[in-house]
Amino acid sequence: QVAISNETRELLLAAVSEDSSVTQIFHAVGALSGFGLPLASQEALSALTARLSKEENVLATIQALETASYLSQQADLSSIVEEIEDLVARLDDLGGVYLQFEEGIETTALFVAAAYKLSDHVGTEPAIKEDQVIQLMNAIFSKKNFETLSEAFSVARAAGALSQNRFHLPVIVVPDGPAAVSHHQPVLRLQVTNVMSQLLTQVSVKLDQAKSVSSKATVLQQLPFTLSGDFFELNFMSVKPASGYYDFSISVDGDKRFIANKVELKVKVSTEVGIINVDLSTVDKDQSIAPKTTRVAYPAKAKGSFTADSHQNFALSFQLIDVNSGAELIPHQTFVRLHNQKTGQEVVFVAEPDSKNVYKFELDTSERKTEFDSASGTYTLYLIIGDATLENPILWNVADVVITFPEEDAPSTVQSKNLFVPKPEIQHLFREPEKRPPTVVSNTFTALVLSPLLLLLILWFKIGANISNFSFSPSTIVFHMGHAAMLGLMYVYWTQLNMFQTLKYLAILGGITFLAGNRMLAQKAVKR
């Protein structure tokens, strides 16, 4: 027996106040309720409501829901119950498949557990719609491995809440093995469980309708499944369906609380294929000789060999039927494979059905020589038949065909197309340098361009330009030095500096030159 001291009781009661966080109130109320100690529900409720308006996050609201489920029903818990609807509005819809809080799966699972616990306590159906419950389940049960124990705990609580509450019971329908029937296995078996994978057998399972996917015709309607042991069974082959896929709409009833109880299931009906009326013939191109036809029965091989060369084409025709029903079949894969016995080459063609569902294949050597690389020789002919709904795919060595291509096209040796040998090396072509004139020409031009300078000096001499008026005042000297320095700076700029450095030096030199020049020119003007 656990004895609770008075101090502990006082501590817990004191914690139930506006000054504690929602988590503290939740733990205190839970402890008091667990110990069976008296608790003033109305005061706890008002503390909780006051506290909740200050802490607006999702986790606090979920804990408030849990706390309220401990409080007496005499208190008006409707304000807390309304929080369920607000929380549902805060869920994120991911692609129409998942519904979860942005805080993650753990928070979503805790919400589900808390919402159903409170709803059971108060007796009001939670404000969560059926497809929302399905989407919540998709999100919560999407993982099979959990990183933290708390995450696993929350998922387990949610599963427990969804399998035992007063309002919503999701139903899971699981086929036994793949959902496929055939002549050997004509019965479709289903298991019906709740979220905790516990079998529900006190229910009725009904096939609302079964529609063929290809023809959209309804094959069955309103048929109940029979309970046999743990499984619900239906003998689908009794209506002799054609092979293919069918959409089953199944509904599970038995309890008003059932949700997600209308299920769509894709069922495959398989069968066995038979090949009949197999005719091999050589057809003369000129049509002068009547075609020679040989009939072969599966799985025997045709005796003798057939020829295909420049005068004759080889032709193959056959029909495919469903062995059990006799109906004609069009499987997905109907291939004719020709395998060169000497070189190992193989060429595969598709046999196509005509309007009467008779498969035809014709080999014309002149049309098909590229596929064969013009390699003449004896080829073994195989017929390959396959489909997802066939239980007996077929690989049948039908006959030998001697194919002769015109001589001039035959390659000397047939090389197998090996993709993984080194390819020829690519030589990189570097960018060609621009065409330049020979050095002689450019040197000549340089001399030529400097000749006008010579002319200028001669002309100046003739005119009589001189520097006789040159006064050696300091500003004049400074001006000319500064100007010369600026010209020198231009040269240095060309060879070494960048624009910013040049501008810096130019500013200094230019300033000096300007001031000196100003003085010099002013003196000149005065003299004039």
Residue 436 sits in the site that holds another protein (CB under 8 A)? yes
* Minimum CB distance to another protein smaller for 330 or for 490: 490
Q: How far is the CB of 514 from another protein (least distance, A)?
A: 8
* Alpha-carbon span 506 to 483, nearest angstrom: 10
CB of residue 408 vs another protein: minimum separation in angstroms?
Answer: 54
* Window 406-435: residues binding another protein (CB under 8 A): 434-435
Closest by CA to 101, choosing from 135, 129, 78, 147, is 135
Strand pairing category for 312-322 and 273-284: antiparallel
Q: How far is the C-alpha of 318 from the C-alpha of 296, rounded, in Å?
A: 10
Choices 128-136, 304-312, 410-418, 518-526 (CB under 8 A): range interacting with another protein: 518-526
With residue 49 as reference, give the H or E element that holds it: helix 41-54
Outline where DSSP puts E strands in 311-447: 312-322, 333-340, 346-350, 352-353, 359-363, 377-386, 394-403
Token pair recorded at residue 480: 């000319």
Cβ-contact 15, 9 below 8 angstroms: no
Q: How far is the CB of 503 from another protein (least distance, A)?
A: 8
- C-alpha gyration radius of the chain: 48
Does 508 help bind another protein (rule: CB under 8 A)?
Answer: no
Q: Measured from the CB atom, is 350 or 457 closer to another protein? A: 457
422 versus 464: smaller Cβ distance to another protein: 464
Nearest in space to 416 (alpha carbons), one of 343, 470, 355: 343
Q: What is the torsional sign of CA 492, 498, 501, 504? A: positive
Contact 70, 28 (CB under 8 A): no
CB 429, min distance to another protein, A: 20
Q: Which of 191, 181, 189 is nearest to 238 (CA)?
A: 181
Q: Are strands 92-94 and 305-308 parallel, antiparallel or unpaired?
A: unpaired
- Residue count, binding to another protein (CB under 8 A): 34
Q: Least distance to another protein from the beta carbon of 508, Å?
A: 13
Q: Which is nearer to another protein, 472 or 494 (CB)?
A: 494
**Smallest gap from residue 501 Cβ to another protein (A):** 12
How far apart (Å, rounded) are the C-alpha atoms in residues 473 and 331? 112
Q: Which stretch binds another protein (CB under 8 A): 85-93, 252-260, 423-431, 513-521?
A: 513-521
Tell me how far apart the alpha carbons of residues 513 and 515 are, in angstroms, rounded to a whole number.
Answer: 6
Other C-beta atoms lying within 10 Å of the C-beta of residue 135? 21
DSSP state of 215: T
Nearer residue to another protein within complex by CB, 342 or 524: 524
Considering the complex, what minimum distance in angstroms separates the CB of residue 476 from another protein? 13
Of residues 447 through 506, those in contact with another protein by CB under 8 A are 448-449, 452-453, 455-456, 459-460, 463-465, 483, 486, 490, 493-494, 499, 502, 506
Smallest distance from another protein to CB 465, Å: 4
By CB under 8 A, is residue 290 in contact with another protein? Answer: no
Q: From 4-12, 32-40, 194-202, 520-528, give the range in contact with another protein by CB under 8 A.
A: 520-528
Residue 411 C-beta: closest distance to another protein, Å: 51
Spatial CA neighbour of 402 closest among 442, 372, 438: 372
Residue 64 host element (H or E):
helix 58-68
Q: Give the shortest CB-428-to-another protein separation in angstroms.
A: 24
Stretch that binds another protein, among 13-21, 169-177, 259-267, 439-447 (CB under 8 A): 439-447
**Which stretch in 93-101, 194-202, 266-274, 443-451 sits in contact with another protein by CB under 8 A?**
443-451
Query: Can you count the helices (H) and strands (E) in the chain?
Result: 12, 23
Binding footprint of another protein on the chain (CB under 8 A):
434-437, 441-442, 445, 448-449, 452-453, 455-456, 459-460, 463-465, 483, 486, 490, 493-494, 499, 502, 506, 510, 514, 517-518, 521-522, 524-525
